[in-house]
Structure 1
């Protein structure tokens, strides 16, 4: 698939690099091709192409948003998605590693407000970037789970296929309002790994009888 990435920092690059190695075509969507993050990404993977943001969206089959959450409204308000899937990989994090929207609404629902013509799916947020570089856990006979949320079933099916390519088992948690709880799972992971010293190379699994 042809995938566009708005944001190519730690999270965006880890996902893009993994997927490029699985055969997907990666477009870095940035209006400044000389930005430091773009140059760093191209140094690490010369197979990426770079296009202006709207041009990249128009060309891509799926768009990933992996930017700092506070930048999203400004970035999205002038863009047109024409019904394309927009994978929200961002998290609203506030002071003291709290929910940046006071748990009143999910960040993904705000993304949907700012990009009303996109099919927003929450994914790739419940872990740090380390687990997007390599999702393989060879000591176990189960795949780590990637929980997603979204209002459009077809869009979630597309993201599920991408999850499979990344090495994850997909768990569809329901409508986009469920993203609020996935964002709380992010805060749990971040507090464990970034604040309290737990190593970052761990993920959740989904087991059922």
Structure 2
């Protein structure tokens, strides 16, 4: 099976880190900012489309992508309010919203529990972080887990897309650990241990 082409929408810290990691892993990658024509071109070109945009920009990005039925869309966003409180909902995740907007696409939630400085290698202090990926389409989820493994992550199937609501809460906890009262910084991360291979 051919290695999927990776389109990254968003060229900030997260998008740039994922681009570096995917290229280092041998993937063909294109990235773009918010220009609608560039976003549409990236959507047409890529097999896997990574939304590395602010949560508030997700719906516009989906609209600008155009026809993406059958393509894998990876939502890496975390929902936060302007005051840095949790903006998500454990009854309905942001990724499930993306799936509604991107009818016919195969949405996977992943990378949101990892700080951008650790995304390119999937590691902290030489130890592989878990890449937790939730999605309803097994083939799409495998594409994302394979990408993560090639980048250096320990890939972990986190179940159906409905579990994205818990990954988003975990992503928020990661931010709180890094920048909240504990001030652990970004050189931290999560790993699932003890599971069967």
Report the TM-score range of the alignment, normalised by the length of the smaller protein.
0.7 to 0.9
Distance verdict in 2 for CA 1:147–1:120, change over 3 Å: same
Q: What TM-score comes out, normalization by structure 2 length?
A: 0.88
Residue 152 of structure 1 deviates from its aligned partner by 0.3
Structure 1 residue aligned with 2:151: 166
Residue 73 of structure 1 deviates from its aligned partner by 1.4
Structure 1 residue aligned with 2:17: 14
User: Equivalents in 2 of 1:137, 1:2: separation in Å?
Assistant: 27
Give aligned pairs, total: 190
- Is 1:65 paired with 2:43? no
**1:205 equivalent among 187, 191, 194:** 191
Per mean C-alpha deviation after superposition, the further-off stretch among 88-97 and 174-183 is: 88-97
8 A contact 2:89–2:165 mirrored in 1: no
**2:90 equivalent among 103, 120, 143:** 103
8 A contact 1:97–1:187 mirrored in 2: no
Deviation digits for residues 3-51 of structure 1 (CA, Å, limit 9, x no counterpart): 1011111111101111112221111134649xxxxxxxxxxxxxxxxx7
8 A contact 1:193–1:199 mirrored in 2: yes
Residue 69 of structure 1 deviates from its aligned partner by 0.5
Question: Where does 1:1-209 land on structure 2 (aligned, <5 Å)?
Answer: 1-30=4-33, 32=35, 52-78=38-64, 79-137=66-124, 140=127, 143-196=128-181, 197-208=183-194
Residue 170 of structure 1 deviates from its aligned partner by 1.3
Larger Rg: 1
Distance verdict in 2 for CA 1:193–1:82, change over 3 Å: same
Deviation digits for residues 77-118 of structure 1 (CA, Å, limit 9, x no counterpart): 342212100011111112443332443310000000111121
User: Equivalents in 1 of 2:39, 2:176: separation in Å?
Assistant: 33
Q: What TM-score comes out, normalization by structure 1 length?
A: 0.83
Deviating 4+ runs (over 6 angstroms): none
Residue 68 of structure 1 deviates from its aligned partner by 0.4
Deviation digits for residues 174-209 of structure 1 (CA, Å, limit 9, x no counterpart): 111100100111111101112231121112122126
